[in-house]
């Protein structure tokens, strides 16, 4: 049986990006005279891309802003975040060793994220991880974003894989819904940015550390036979 292509979410799955994303959000809010969003609350705003994070942060404050203000905040966010994308963002514990082991075993690795593609590349290059992935696809790569399953299918295709032999690894309900819609099994990490325990959303398996990933992939493959 062909080894599955492994498709990872980025924020909250591969990389703990919350410190830099939240710092950026609060810099932008300060420029607009808005109060900072507390760190723990802001972690739950991550996952739909930068613009969605800003909108969620504004709504959390019980506010609305005109479209031109939102456009300006989004542009400011992208500019500041691009310059500070890896100040404090780091791979989750055990990730690099797990990727090494999976690559050595022969798995294709890919990234499917709602982050913009250029920001995803910038981050992964800054952390010396980009060369490990056969495809790095964001919400603007194909003009669709999770939970639309088409972004996952196209990411697998770009990586040279087959959706019939693929596994998604993510941290959120959105990732699980995307995988389910594509008919692909999904492993969830429980250390990401899900507001509720990720096990509640029905992934095939849940892991609490990347040391568990290789054996968990084997278990999912066995389940699918």
Residues annotated as part of the active site: 9
Taking Cα atoms as reference points, which of 34, 50, 58, 110 lies closest to residue 82? Answer: 50
Residue 197, φ and ψ in degrees, nearest 5: -55, 130
Instruction: List the 186-189 sheet strands across, edge first.
Output: 135-137, 109-112, 5-8, 166-170, 186-189, 205-207
Dihedral, CA of residue 222, residue 104, residue 205 and residue 53, to nearest 10: -150
Question: What's the maximum distance between 2 C-alpha atoms anywhere in the chain?
Answer: 57
């Amino acid at each position: 049986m062909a080894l599955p292509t492994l498709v990872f979410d980025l924020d909250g799955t591969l990389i703990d990006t919350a410190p830099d994303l939240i710092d950026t959000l609060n810099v932008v809010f300060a420029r607009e005279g808005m109060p900072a969003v507390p760190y723990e609350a802001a972690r739950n705003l991550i996952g739909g891309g930068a613009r969605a994070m800003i909108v969620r942060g504004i709504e959390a404050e019980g506010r609305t802003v005109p479209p031109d203000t939102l456009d300006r905040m989004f542009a400011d966010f992208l500019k500041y975040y691009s310059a500070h994308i890896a100040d404090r963002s780091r791979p989750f514990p055990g990730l690099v060793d797990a990727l090494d082991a999976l690559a050595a075993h022969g798995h294709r690795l890919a990234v499917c994220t709602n982050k913009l593609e250029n920001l995803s590349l910038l981050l992964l290059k800054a952390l010396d991880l980009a060369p490990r992935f056969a495809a790095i696809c964001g919400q603007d790569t194909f003009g669709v974003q999770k939970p639309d399953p088409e972004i996952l299918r196209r990411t697998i295709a770009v990586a040279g894989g087959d959706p019939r032999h693929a596994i998604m690894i993510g941290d959120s309900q959105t990732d699980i819904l995307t995988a389910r819609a594509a008919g692909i099994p999904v492993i969830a990490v429980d250390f990401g940015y899900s507001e509720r325990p990720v096990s509640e959303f029905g992934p095939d398996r849940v892991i609490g550390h990347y040391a568990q990933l290789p054996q968990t992939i084997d278990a999912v493959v066995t389940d699918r036979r």
